[in-house]
A and B are shown apart, each in its own frame.
Chain A
Protein backbone atom coordinates (compact mmCIF):
# COMPACT_ATOMS: atom_id res chain seq x y z
CA UNK A 1 0.00 0.00 0.00
CA UNK A 2 1.18 3.52 -0.75
CA UNK A 3 -0.24 6.88 0.16
CA UNK A 4 -0.89 8.98 3.22
CA UNK A 5 -1.93 6.15 5.53
CA UNK A 6 1.02 3.98 4.52
CA UNK A 7 3.48 6.81 5.11
CA UNK A 8 2.15 7.38 8.62
CA UNK A 9 2.20 3.63 9.35
CA UNK A 10 5.85 3.38 8.26
CA UNK A 11 6.83 6.31 10.47
CA UNK A 12 4.99 4.74 13.40
CA UNK A 13 6.84 1.46 12.85
CA UNK A 14 10.09 3.39 12.88
CA UNK A 15 9.11 5.03 16.17
CA UNK A 16 8.56 8.56 14.88
CA UNK A 17 5.56 10.82 15.40
CA UNK A 18 4.49 12.42 12.11
CA UNK A 19 3.99 16.16 12.55
CA UNK A 20 1.91 18.32 10.26
CA UNK A 21 1.16 22.04 10.03
CA UNK A 22 -2.08 23.93 9.48
CA UNK A 23 -0.92 25.96 6.54
CA UNK A 24 -2.53 27.69 3.60
CA UNK A 25 -1.76 30.82 1.63
CA UNK A 26 -3.59 32.38 -1.28
CA UNK A 27 -0.71 32.66 -3.72
CA UNK A 28 0.61 29.57 -5.43
CA UNK A 29 4.30 30.46 -5.07
CA UNK A 30 3.97 31.02 -1.33
CA UNK A 31 1.99 27.82 -0.93
CA UNK A 32 4.79 25.94 -2.68
CA UNK A 33 7.40 27.59 -0.45
CA UNK A 34 5.39 26.53 2.58
CA UNK A 35 5.25 22.91 1.43
CA UNK A 36 8.98 22.90 0.65
CA UNK A 37 9.78 24.31 4.08
CA UNK A 38 7.53 21.72 5.74
CA UNK A 39 9.29 18.98 3.84
CA UNK A 40 12.67 20.36 4.81
CA UNK A 41 11.91 20.73 8.52
CA UNK A 42 13.97 18.67 10.97
CA UNK A 43 11.10 16.29 11.68
CA UNK A 44 9.08 13.54 10.03
CA UNK A 45 6.46 15.66 8.31
CA UNK A 46 3.51 15.53 5.94
CA UNK A 47 2.33 18.60 4.07
CA UNK A 48 -0.89 20.54 4.36
CA UNK A 49 -2.87 22.74 2.03
CA UNK A 50 -5.43 24.57 4.18
CA UNK A 51 -8.23 26.15 2.19
CA UNK A 52 -9.68 29.65 2.58
CA UNK A 53 -13.12 30.41 3.99
CA UNK A 54 -14.69 31.47 0.68
CA UNK A 55 -13.80 28.11 -0.87
CA UNK A 56 -14.99 26.36 2.29
CA UNK A 57 -18.41 27.98 2.07
CA UNK A 58 -18.68 27.45 -1.70
CA UNK A 59 -18.46 31.16 -2.59
CA UNK A 60 -16.01 30.68 -5.45
CA UNK A 61 -16.88 34.11 -6.90
CA UNK A 62 -15.66 35.77 -3.74
CA UNK A 63 -12.50 33.65 -3.81
CA UNK A 64 -11.86 34.65 -7.43
CA UNK A 65 -12.44 38.35 -6.70
CA UNK A 66 -10.18 38.30 -3.64
CA UNK A 67 -7.45 36.55 -5.60
CA UNK A 68 -7.72 39.05 -8.46
CA UNK A 69 -7.50 41.98 -6.04
CA UNK A 70 -4.65 40.45 -4.09
CA UNK A 71 -6.80 40.74 -0.95
CA UNK A 72 -5.55 38.56 1.88
CA UNK A 73 -7.19 35.14 2.02
CA UNK A 74 -7.02 32.85 5.04
CA UNK A 75 -6.07 29.83 2.92
CA UNK A 76 -5.36 28.39 -0.53
CA UNK A 77 -8.31 28.64 -2.98
CA UNK A 78 -7.92 25.20 -4.55
CA UNK A 79 -11.12 25.34 -6.59
CA UNK A 80 -10.22 28.76 -8.03
CA UNK A 81 -6.58 28.38 -9.02
CA UNK A 82 -6.46 26.48 -12.32
CA UNK A 83 -5.58 22.82 -11.81
CA UNK A 84 -2.25 23.32 -13.60
CA UNK A 85 -1.30 25.92 -11.02
CA UNK A 86 -1.99 23.52 -8.16
CA UNK A 87 -0.12 20.74 -9.97
CA UNK A 88 2.84 23.09 -10.30
CA UNK A 89 2.65 23.89 -6.58
CA UNK A 90 2.94 20.18 -5.85
CA UNK A 91 5.37 19.19 -8.59
CA UNK A 92 8.57 17.77 -7.18
CA UNK A 93 7.36 18.43 -3.62
CA UNK A 94 4.52 16.00 -2.98
CA UNK A 95 5.41 12.33 -3.44
CA UNK A 96 5.37 9.01 -1.60
CA UNK A 97 7.95 10.38 0.85
CA UNK A 98 5.99 13.58 1.45
CA UNK A 99 2.23 13.11 1.19
CA UNK A 100 0.12 16.26 1.21
CA UNK A 101 -3.33 16.53 2.76
CA UNK A 102 -6.02 19.10 1.97
CA UNK A 103 -7.70 20.60 5.04
CA UNK A 104 -10.91 22.50 4.52
CA UNK A 105 -13.99 22.71 6.76
CA UNK A 106 -16.76 22.35 4.23
CA UNK A 107 -20.22 20.90 4.73
CA UNK A 108 -20.62 20.52 0.96
CA UNK A 109 -17.14 19.54 -0.23
CA UNK A 110 -17.80 18.05 -3.70
CA UNK A 111 -15.98 20.84 -5.57
CA UNK A 112 -13.06 20.59 -3.17
CA UNK A 113 -12.80 16.82 -3.55
CA UNK A 114 -12.94 17.17 -7.33
CA UNK A 115 -10.24 19.83 -7.29
CA UNK A 116 -7.87 17.89 -5.04
CA UNK A 117 -8.28 14.70 -7.05
CA UNK A 118 -7.68 16.63 -10.27
CA UNK A 119 -4.46 17.98 -8.78
CA UNK A 120 -3.31 14.43 -8.02
CA UNK A 121 -3.97 14.47 -4.27
CA UNK A 122 -5.91 11.83 -2.36
CA UNK A 123 -5.83 12.74 1.33
CA UNK A 124 -8.23 15.07 3.10
CA UNK A 125 -10.35 15.32 6.24
CA UNK A 126 -13.65 16.34 7.76
CA UNK A 127 -16.95 14.54 8.15
CA UNK A 128 -20.69 15.00 7.77
CA UNK A 129 -21.13 16.19 11.37
CA UNK A 130 -17.84 17.85 12.26
CA UNK A 131 -17.76 19.93 9.07
CA UNK A 132 -21.39 20.85 9.36
CA UNK A 133 -22.37 21.82 12.89
CA UNK A 134 -19.35 24.01 13.76
CA UNK A 135 -18.88 25.30 10.20
CA UNK A 136 -22.00 27.11 9.16
CA UNK A 137 -25.73 26.67 8.69
CA UNK A 138 -26.02 23.94 6.02
CA UNK A 139 -28.75 21.54 7.21
CA UNK A 140 -27.26 18.31 8.58
CA UNK A 141 -29.19 16.10 6.17
CA UNK A 142 -27.70 18.05 3.25
CA UNK A 143 -24.19 17.75 4.65
CA UNK A 144 -24.70 14.00 5.06
CA UNK A 145 -25.75 13.68 1.40
CA UNK A 146 -22.81 15.81 0.22
CA UNK A 147 -20.36 13.86 2.33
CA UNK A 148 -21.72 10.54 1.09
CA UNK A 149 -21.18 11.60 -2.52
CA UNK A 150 -17.76 13.04 -1.70
CA UNK A 151 -16.62 9.89 0.11
CA UNK A 152 -17.76 7.78 -2.83
CA UNK A 153 -15.87 10.02 -5.23
CA UNK A 154 -12.70 9.80 -3.15
CA UNK A 155 -13.07 6.03 -2.69
CA UNK A 156 -13.59 5.54 -6.44
CA UNK A 157 -9.88 6.06 -7.12
CA UNK A 158 -9.13 2.83 -5.26
CA UNK A 159 -10.10 1.19 -8.51
CA UNK A 160 -6.87 2.57 -9.99
CA UNK A 161 -4.72 1.16 -7.21
CA UNK A 162 -4.57 4.27 -5.03
CA UNK A 163 -5.40 4.19 -1.33
CA UNK A 164 -7.12 7.53 -0.58
CA UNK A 165 -7.09 8.67 3.04
CA UNK A 166 -9.75 10.46 5.04
CA UNK A 167 -9.41 11.84 8.58
CA UNK A 168 -12.36 12.54 10.87
CA UNK A 169 -12.57 16.04 12.29
CA UNK A 170 -15.08 14.80 14.87
CA UNK A 171 -12.50 14.92 17.66
CA UNK A 172 -12.66 18.71 17.60
CA UNK A 173 -16.25 19.84 17.88
CA UNK A 174 -16.26 23.65 18.34
CA UNK A 175 -12.55 23.58 19.23
CA UNK A 176 -13.16 23.74 22.97
CA UNK A 177 -15.42 22.94 25.93
CA UNK A 178 -16.77 19.68 24.50
CA UNK A 179 -16.30 16.77 26.92
CA UNK A 180 -14.15 13.92 25.56
CA UNK A 181 -16.81 11.20 25.36
CA UNK A 182 -18.78 13.12 22.73
CA UNK A 183 -15.60 13.90 20.76
CA UNK A 184 -14.72 10.20 20.70
CA UNK A 185 -18.24 9.19 19.71
CA UNK A 186 -18.44 11.62 16.79
CA UNK A 187 -14.93 10.75 15.61
CA UNK A 188 -15.75 7.02 15.59
CA UNK A 189 -19.16 7.50 13.98
CA UNK A 190 -17.63 9.58 11.20
CA UNK A 191 -14.96 6.93 10.63
CA UNK A 192 -17.71 4.32 10.34
CA UNK A 193 -19.51 6.61 7.87
CA UNK A 194 -16.33 6.86 5.79
CA UNK A 195 -15.98 3.09 5.77
CA UNK A 196 -19.62 2.63 4.83
CA UNK A 197 -18.96 4.78 1.77
CA UNK A 198 -15.90 2.95 0.58
CA UNK A 199 -12.83 4.38 2.34
CA UNK A 200 -10.29 1.88 3.67
CA UNK A 201 -7.60 4.19 5.08
CA UNK A 202 -8.90 6.38 7.88
CA UNK A 203 -7.52 8.41 10.77
CA UNK A 204 -9.47 9.34 13.86
CA UNK A 205 -8.87 12.72 15.44
CA UNK A 206 -8.87 13.91 18.99
CA UNK A 207 -8.10 17.49 19.98
CA UNK A 208 -6.10 18.22 23.12
CA UNK A 209 -8.47 19.61 25.75
CA UNK A 210 -7.94 21.10 29.17
CA UNK A 211 -6.43 18.32 31.28
CA UNK A 212 -3.61 15.99 30.23
CA UNK A 213 -4.72 12.95 32.23
CA UNK A 214 -8.27 13.26 30.94
CA UNK A 215 -6.94 13.47 27.39
CA UNK A 216 -4.75 10.38 27.87
CA UNK A 217 -7.74 8.45 29.09
CA UNK A 218 -9.76 9.67 26.12
CA UNK A 219 -7.12 8.71 23.55
CA UNK A 220 -6.75 5.25 25.04
CA UNK A 221 -10.52 4.81 24.85
CA UNK A 222 -10.62 6.07 21.26
CA UNK A 223 -7.87 3.61 20.30
CA UNK A 224 -9.66 0.66 21.88
CA UNK A 225 -13.02 1.48 20.32
CA UNK A 226 -11.44 2.04 16.89
CA UNK A 227 -9.56 -1.27 17.12
CA UNK A 228 -12.84 -2.98 17.81
CA UNK A 229 -15.17 -1.26 15.33
CA UNK A 230 -12.72 -0.52 12.51
CA UNK A 231 -10.49 -3.57 12.68
CA UNK A 232 -10.66 -4.12 8.92
CA UNK A 233 -9.34 -0.72 7.76
CA UNK A 234 -5.93 0.91 7.82
CA UNK A 235 -6.21 3.43 10.65
CA UNK A 236 -4.30 5.66 13.02
CA UNK A 237 -5.04 8.25 15.68
CA UNK A 238 -4.21 11.91 15.09
CA UNK A 239 -3.95 14.49 17.87
CA UNK A 240 -4.63 18.17 17.29
CA UNK A 241 -2.70 20.61 19.41
CA UNK A 242 -5.20 22.67 21.40
CA UNK A 243 -7.96 24.04 19.17
CA UNK A 244 -9.40 26.61 21.56
CA UNK A 245 -8.30 30.07 22.71
CA UNK A 246 -4.54 29.84 22.52
CA UNK A 247 -1.86 31.36 24.79
CA UNK A 248 -0.80 34.80 23.58
CA UNK A 249 2.83 34.61 24.63
CA UNK A 250 5.31 32.69 22.47
CA UNK A 251 6.51 30.80 25.54
CA UNK A 252 3.01 29.77 26.57
CA UNK A 253 2.12 28.71 23.04
CA UNK A 254 5.23 26.58 22.85
CA UNK A 255 4.63 24.86 26.20
CA UNK A 256 1.10 23.98 25.14
CA UNK A 257 2.34 22.55 21.84
CA UNK A 258 4.96 20.48 23.64
CA UNK A 259 2.28 19.09 25.94
CA UNK A 260 0.27 18.15 22.83
CA UNK A 261 3.28 16.25 21.47
CA UNK A 262 3.68 14.39 24.78
CA UNK A 263 -0.01 13.57 24.75
CA UNK A 264 0.25 12.17 21.23
CA UNK A 265 3.12 9.87 22.25
CA UNK A 266 1.50 8.70 25.47
CA UNK A 267 -1.89 8.25 23.87
CA UNK A 268 -0.60 6.11 21.02
CA UNK A 269 -1.27 8.61 18.23
CA UNK A 270 0.81 8.36 15.07
CA UNK A 271 0.38 11.94 13.91
CA UNK A 272 0.11 15.41 15.46
CA UNK A 273 -1.18 18.62 13.90
CA UNK A 274 0.63 21.56 15.41
CA UNK A 275 -0.28 25.12 16.35
CA UNK A 276 2.14 28.02 16.17
CA UNK A 277 3.07 30.94 18.41
CA UNK A 278 0.94 33.14 16.10
CA UNK A 279 -2.25 31.17 16.80
CA UNK A 280 -3.86 33.69 19.13
CA UNK A 281 -3.10 36.59 16.83
CA UNK A 282 -3.12 35.93 13.08
CA UNK A 283 -2.41 33.47 10.27
CA UNK A 284 1.10 32.06 10.92
CA UNK A 285 4.10 32.51 8.65
CA UNK A 286 5.95 29.59 7.11
CA UNK A 287 8.86 30.10 9.49
CA UNK A 288 6.56 30.01 12.52
CA UNK A 289 5.09 26.77 11.24
CA UNK A 290 8.52 25.19 10.75
CA UNK A 291 9.53 26.15 14.29
CA UNK A 292 6.35 24.58 15.63
CA UNK A 293 6.94 21.36 13.68
CA UNK A 294 10.50 21.07 14.96
CA UNK A 295 9.57 21.91 18.57
CA UNK A 296 6.80 19.32 18.53
CA UNK A 297 9.02 16.64 17.00
CA UNK A 298 11.73 17.29 19.60
CA UNK A 299 9.23 17.09 22.46
CA UNK A 300 7.85 13.82 21.07
CA UNK A 301 11.31 12.30 20.75
CA UNK A 302 12.16 13.27 24.32
CA UNK A 303 8.90 11.83 25.57
CA UNK A 304 9.66 8.48 23.93
CA UNK A 305 12.80 8.07 26.02
CA UNK A 306 10.86 8.54 29.26
CA UNK A 307 9.34 5.59 31.10
CA UNK A 308 5.71 5.15 30.22
CA UNK A 309 3.50 6.65 32.90
CA UNK A 310 0.87 4.47 34.55
CA UNK A 311 -2.39 4.29 32.64
CA UNK A 312 -4.78 7.05 33.73
CA UNK A 313 -7.62 5.97 36.02
CA UNK A 314 -10.95 5.18 34.38
CA UNK A 315 -13.29 8.10 34.99
CA UNK A 316 -15.99 6.73 32.71
CA UNK A 317 -15.10 8.38 29.38
CA UNK A 318 -15.09 5.08 27.51
CA UNK A 319 -18.43 3.95 28.91
CA UNK A 320 -20.03 7.27 27.95
CA UNK A 321 -18.54 7.15 24.46
CA UNK A 322 -19.74 3.57 23.94
CA UNK A 323 -23.23 4.48 25.13
CA UNK A 324 -23.40 7.35 22.65
CA UNK A 325 -22.06 5.29 19.75
CA UNK A 326 -24.34 2.35 20.55
CA UNK A 327 -27.43 4.55 20.72
CA UNK A 328 -26.69 6.04 17.29
CA UNK A 329 -25.87 2.70 15.65
CA UNK A 330 -29.20 1.35 16.91
CA UNK A 331 -31.15 4.07 15.09
CA UNK A 332 -30.48 2.99 11.50
CA UNK A 333 -28.13 0.70 9.61
CA UNK A 334 -27.37 3.65 7.32
CA UNK A 335 -24.89 5.77 9.27
CA UNK A 336 -25.94 9.01 7.60
CA UNK A 337 -29.60 8.52 8.48
CA UNK A 338 -28.63 7.41 11.98
CA UNK A 339 -26.62 10.60 12.52
CA UNK A 340 -29.45 12.85 11.32
CA UNK A 341 -31.92 11.07 13.60
CA UNK A 342 -29.50 11.14 16.52
CA UNK A 343 -29.19 14.92 16.36
CA UNK A 344 -32.93 15.38 15.87
CA UNK A 345 -33.56 13.28 18.99
CA UNK A 346 -30.79 14.99 20.97
CA UNK A 347 -28.89 11.70 21.45
CA UNK A 348 -25.93 13.66 20.19
CA UNK A 349 -25.96 17.31 21.26
CA UNK A 350 -22.89 19.54 21.13
CA UNK A 351 -22.57 22.10 23.92
CA UNK A 352 -22.62 25.75 22.81
CA UNK A 353 -23.20 24.88 19.16
CA UNK A 354 -25.64 27.34 17.55
CA UNK A 355 -26.40 25.22 14.46
CA UNK A 356 -30.18 24.88 13.93
CA UNK A 357 -29.93 21.06 13.80
CA UNK A 358 -28.20 20.83 17.16
CA UNK A 359 -30.64 20.46 20.05
CA UNK A 360 -28.61 22.82 22.24
CA UNK A 361 -29.71 21.32 25.55
CA UNK A 362 -26.30 20.15 26.77
CA UNK A 363 -23.79 22.19 28.72
CA UNK A 364 -20.26 21.52 29.84
CA UNK A 365 -18.25 22.90 32.70
CA UNK A 366 -14.65 23.12 33.76
CA UNK A 367 -13.66 21.65 37.10
CA UNK A 368 -11.08 23.23 39.43
CA UNK A 369 -8.72 20.47 38.23
CA UNK A 370 -9.13 21.71 34.65
CA UNK A 371 -11.15 18.68 33.61
CA UNK A 372 -14.18 18.97 31.38
CA UNK A 373 -17.46 17.76 32.84
CA UNK A 374 -21.06 17.65 31.74
CA UNK A 375 -23.29 20.04 33.62
CA UNK A 376 -26.35 19.17 31.48
CA UNK A 377 -26.67 16.11 29.24
CA UNK A 378 -30.01 17.01 27.61
CA UNK A 379 -31.42 13.92 25.91
CA UNK A 380 -28.08 12.17 25.42
CA UNK A 381 -28.29 8.57 26.64
CA UNK A 382 -25.62 9.00 29.29
CA UNK A 383 -27.62 10.48 32.16
CA UNK A 384 -27.06 7.35 34.25
CA UNK A 385 -23.31 7.45 33.67
CA UNK A 386 -22.62 11.08 34.47
CA UNK A 387 -22.36 12.29 38.02
CA UNK A 388 -24.68 15.24 38.46
CA UNK A 389 -24.48 18.53 40.22
CA UNK A 390 -21.72 20.21 38.25
CA UNK A 391 -22.23 23.97 38.18
CA UNK A 392 -22.74 25.33 34.65
CA UNK A 393 -20.66 28.06 33.07
CA UNK A 394 -22.52 31.30 33.70
CA UNK A 395 -22.62 34.66 31.99
CA UNK A 396 -20.25 36.38 29.58
CA UNK A 397 -17.51 36.65 32.20
CA UNK A 398 -17.87 32.99 33.15
CA UNK A 399 -17.75 31.99 29.51
CA UNK A 400 -14.62 34.03 28.80
CA UNK A 401 -12.98 32.68 31.90
CA UNK A 402 -13.68 29.07 30.85
CA UNK A 403 -12.64 29.74 27.25
CA UNK A 404 -9.37 31.33 28.34
CA UNK A 405 -8.50 28.79 31.06
CA UNK A 406 -5.78 27.16 28.97
CA UNK A 407 -4.49 30.51 27.70
CA UNK A 408 -4.17 31.83 31.26
CA UNK A 409 -2.51 28.70 32.58
CA UNK A 410 0.13 28.50 29.87
CA UNK A 411 0.80 32.23 29.62
CA UNK A 412 1.29 32.13 33.37
CA UNK A 413 3.83 29.31 33.11
CA UNK A 414 5.71 30.88 30.21
CA UNK A 415 9.24 32.03 30.92
CA UNK A 416 9.35 35.83 30.76
CA UNK A 417 12.03 37.33 28.53
CA UNK A 418 14.58 39.21 30.66
CA UNK A 419 14.01 42.68 29.22
CA UNK A 420 10.63 44.41 29.00
CA UNK A 421 8.42 41.44 29.76
CA UNK A 422 5.37 41.57 27.49
CA UNK A 423 2.21 41.64 29.54
CA UNK A 424 -0.01 38.94 28.06
CA UNK A 425 -3.19 40.81 27.33
CA UNK A 426 -5.41 37.79 27.41
CA UNK A 427 -9.08 37.93 26.75
CA UNK A 428 -10.34 41.02 28.51
CA UNK A 429 -12.48 40.39 31.53
CA UNK A 430 -16.02 41.53 30.92
CA UNK A 431 -16.35 44.33 33.42
Chain B
Protein backbone atom coordinates (compact mmCIF):
# COMPACT_ATOMS: atom_id res chain seq x y z
CA UNK B 1 0.00 0.00 0.00
CA UNK B 2 1.31 3.47 -0.91
CA UNK B 3 1.09 6.01 1.86
CA UNK B 4 2.07 9.66 1.90
CA UNK B 5 5.21 10.58 0.09
CA UNK B 6 7.84 8.12 1.17
CA UNK B 7 9.93 8.08 -2.03
CA UNK B 8 12.71 10.15 -0.48
CA UNK B 9 12.97 7.71 2.38
CA UNK B 10 11.16 9.81 4.96
CA UNK B 11 7.81 8.82 6.38
CA UNK B 12 4.84 11.09 7.00
CA UNK B 13 4.15 10.71 10.68
CA UNK B 14 1.34 12.00 12.87
CA UNK B 15 2.40 12.47 16.51
CA UNK B 16 -0.51 12.89 18.85
CA UNK B 17 -1.87 12.38 22.32
CA UNK B 18 -5.42 11.53 23.41
CA UNK B 19 -8.41 13.68 24.36
CA UNK B 20 -7.87 13.89 28.11
CA UNK B 21 -4.08 14.21 28.10
CA UNK B 22 -2.46 17.62 28.23
CA UNK B 23 1.20 16.53 28.51
CA UNK B 24 3.28 17.81 25.60
CA UNK B 25 6.98 17.38 26.45
CA UNK B 26 6.58 13.78 25.30
CA UNK B 27 5.18 15.03 21.98
CA UNK B 28 7.95 17.59 21.51
CA UNK B 29 10.54 14.90 22.22
CA UNK B 30 8.99 12.38 19.80
CA UNK B 31 8.71 15.00 17.07
CA UNK B 32 12.39 15.94 17.37
CA UNK B 33 13.42 12.29 17.45
CA UNK B 34 11.45 11.40 14.33
CA UNK B 35 12.61 14.50 12.46
CA UNK B 36 16.21 13.65 13.28
CA UNK B 37 15.54 10.22 11.77
CA UNK B 38 14.51 11.95 8.54
CA UNK B 39 10.74 11.83 8.80
CA UNK B 40 8.11 14.55 8.42
CA UNK B 41 6.02 15.08 11.53
CA UNK B 42 2.63 16.65 12.09
CA UNK B 43 2.31 17.22 15.84
CA UNK B 44 -1.33 17.59 16.88
CA UNK B 45 -0.52 19.00 20.34
CA UNK B 46 -2.31 18.56 23.67
CA UNK B 47 -5.77 17.06 24.40
CA UNK B 48 -6.63 15.91 20.87
CA UNK B 49 -10.37 15.14 20.60
CA UNK B 50 -11.19 11.89 18.82
CA UNK B 51 -12.89 13.73 15.96
CA UNK B 52 -9.84 15.93 15.34
CA UNK B 53 -7.51 12.93 15.45
CA UNK B 54 -9.61 11.09 12.88
CA UNK B 55 -10.00 14.13 10.65
CA UNK B 56 -6.29 14.93 10.65
CA UNK B 57 -5.28 11.33 9.99
CA UNK B 58 -7.77 11.05 7.12
CA UNK B 59 -6.51 14.32 5.66
CA UNK B 60 -2.81 13.49 5.95
CA UNK B 61 -3.03 9.72 5.31
CA UNK B 62 0.26 9.25 7.17
CA UNK B 63 2.67 6.32 6.94
CA UNK B 64 2.68 6.05 10.72
CA UNK B 65 0.51 7.24 13.62
CA UNK B 66 2.33 7.65 16.94
CA UNK B 67 0.10 8.05 19.98
CA UNK B 68 1.74 9.10 23.23
CA UNK B 69 -0.06 9.39 26.54
CA UNK B 70 1.39 9.72 30.02
CA UNK B 71 -1.49 10.89 32.21
CA UNK B 72 -2.59 7.36 33.09
CA UNK B 73 -5.71 7.26 30.89
CA UNK B 74 -3.86 6.14 27.76
CA UNK B 75 -4.94 2.54 28.05
CA UNK B 76 -8.65 3.41 28.27
CA UNK B 77 -8.49 6.10 25.63
CA UNK B 78 -6.32 4.04 23.31
CA UNK B 79 -8.93 1.29 23.36
CA UNK B 80 -11.56 3.91 22.50
CA UNK B 81 -9.79 5.47 19.50
CA UNK B 82 -8.20 2.49 17.78
CA UNK B 83 -11.47 0.96 16.52
CA UNK B 84 -12.48 4.39 15.22
CA UNK B 85 -9.19 4.74 13.33
CA UNK B 86 -9.44 1.20 11.95
CA UNK B 87 -13.00 1.88 10.80
CA UNK B 88 -11.71 4.50 8.33
CA UNK B 89 -10.94 2.65 5.10
CA UNK B 90 -7.82 4.76 4.43
CA UNK B 91 -6.44 4.05 7.95
CA UNK B 92 -7.39 0.41 8.21
CA UNK B 93 -3.81 -0.78 7.84
CA UNK B 94 -1.83 2.36 8.74
CA UNK B 95 0.87 1.38 11.23
CA UNK B 96 -0.34 2.80 14.54
CA UNK B 97 1.55 2.60 17.81
CA UNK B 98 0.93 3.78 21.34
CA UNK B 99 3.36 4.46 24.17
CA UNK B 100 4.10 6.38 27.35
CA UNK B 101 2.68 5.80 30.82
CA UNK B 102 -0.58 4.13 29.92
CA UNK B 103 -2.06 3.29 33.33
CA UNK B 104 -2.06 4.86 36.78
CA UNK B 105 -0.29 2.08 38.65
CA UNK B 106 3.08 1.80 36.92
CA UNK B 107 4.45 0.12 33.81
CA UNK B 108 4.41 -3.54 34.74
CA UNK B 109 0.99 -4.72 33.58
CA UNK B 110 1.43 -7.39 30.88
CA UNK B 111 -2.31 -7.53 30.14
CA UNK B 112 -2.28 -3.96 28.98
CA UNK B 113 0.03 -4.57 26.02
CA UNK B 114 -1.97 -7.64 25.02
CA UNK B 115 -5.36 -5.90 25.03
CA UNK B 116 -4.00 -2.93 23.12
CA UNK B 117 -2.43 -5.17 20.48
CA UNK B 118 -5.55 -7.23 20.04
CA UNK B 119 -7.63 -4.04 19.78
CA UNK B 120 -5.62 -3.10 16.69
CA UNK B 121 -2.39 -1.34 17.66
CA UNK B 122 0.71 -2.54 15.83
CA UNK B 123 3.03 -2.00 18.79
CA UNK B 124 2.99 -0.77 22.39
CA UNK B 125 5.94 1.06 23.94
CA UNK B 126 5.51 1.56 27.65
CA UNK B 127 7.71 3.88 29.69
CA UNK B 128 11.22 5.18 29.41
CA UNK B 129 13.13 2.18 28.09
CA UNK B 130 10.93 2.15 25.02
CA UNK B 131 12.80 4.50 22.73
CA UNK B 132 15.38 2.10 21.24
CA UNK B 133 12.79 -0.55 20.23
CA UNK B 134 10.61 2.26 18.84
CA UNK B 135 13.45 3.40 16.59
CA UNK B 136 13.91 -0.14 15.35
CA UNK B 137 10.20 -0.38 14.64
CA UNK B 138 10.24 2.86 12.65
CA UNK B 139 13.39 1.86 10.74
CA UNK B 140 11.65 -1.40 9.86
CA UNK B 141 8.69 0.52 8.46
CA UNK B 142 10.89 2.71 6.35
CA UNK B 143 12.51 -0.24 4.65
CA UNK B 144 9.07 -1.80 4.16
CA UNK B 145 7.74 1.36 2.57
CA UNK B 146 10.83 1.67 0.35
CA UNK B 147 10.52 -1.88 -0.99
- Residue positions of A touching B, CB distance < 8 A: 52-54, 56-57, 59, 62, 66, 71-74, 105, 134-137, 174-176, 281-283, 352-356, 395-396, 399-400, 403, 425-428, 430-431
Complex Cα distance A175/B20, Å?
18
- Beta-carbon contact of B106 and A354 below 8 Å: no
User: Given A396-B32, A399-B29, A428-B132: A57 and B20 within 8 A (CB)?
Assistant: yes
User: Given A57-B47, A399-B32: A135 and B22 within 8 A (CB)?
Assistant: yes
Please, which residues of chain A bring their CB within 8 A of the CB of B48? 137
- Residue positions of B touching A, CB distance < 8 A: 19-22, 24-25, 27-29, 32-33, 36, 43, 45-48, 71-73, 76, 101, 103-107, 128-132, 135
Please, which residues of chain B bring their CB within 8 A of the CB of A136? 22, 46-47
Known: A53-B72, A281-B106, A354-B43. 17 other contacts (CB 8 A): A53-B73, A54-B20, A59-B20, A72-B104, A74-B71, A135-B22, A135-B47, A136-B46, A282-B105, A352-B28, A354-B28, A355-B46, A425-B129, A428-B130, A428-B131, A428-B132, A431-B132
User: Which among B24, B32, B47, B128 is the interface contact of A395 at CB below 8 angstroms?
Assistant: B32
- Beta-carbon contact of A54 and B73 below 8 Å: yes
Chain A interface, DSSP helix/strand/loop, else mixed:
loop
User: Given A428-B128, A428-B131: A354 and B24 within 8 A (CB)?
Assistant: yes
- Beta-carbon contact of A135 and B20 below 8 Å: no
User: Given A57-B20, A283-B72, A430-B131: A135 and B46 within 8 A (CB)?
Assistant: yes
Chain B interface, DSSP helix/strand/loop, else mixed:
loop
Minimal beta-carbon separation of B53 from chain A (angstroms):
12
Closest to B46 in A: A136
- Beta-carbon contact of B25 and A428 below 8 Å: no
- Beta-carbon contact of B45 and A425 below 8 Å: no
User: Given A136-B47, A425-B128: A282 and B101 within 8 A (CB)?
Assistant: yes
Please, which residues of chain B bring their CB within 8 A of the CB of A59? 19-20
8 A-B pairs with the lowest CB-CB distances in the bound complex, closest first: A396-B32, A136-B47, A53-B20, A74-B72, A396-B33, A282-B106, A72-B104, A283-B104
User: Which among A134, A426, A430 is the interface contact of B33 at CB below 8 angstroms?
Assistant: A430
Complex Cα distance A175/B29, Å?
15
Please, which residues of chain B bring their CB within 8 A of the CB of A396? 29, 32-33, 36
- Beta-carbon contact of A395 and B36 below 8 Å: yes
Q: Which of B43, B76, B130 has the most A CB atoms < 10 Å from its CB?
A: B76
Q: Which of A53, A66, A175 has the most B CB atoms < 10 Å from its CB?
A: A53
User: Which among B27, B32, B45, B103 is the interface contact of A355 at CB below 8 angstroms?
Assistant: B45
**Listed A/B pairs (19) with beta-carbon separation below 8 Å:** A52-B73, A53-B20, A53-B73, A56-B20, A59-B20, A74-B104, A134-B22, A137-B46, A174-B24, A281-B107, A282-B104, A354-B24, A354-B45, A355-B46, A356-B45, A396-B33, A425-B128, A428-B130, A430-B33
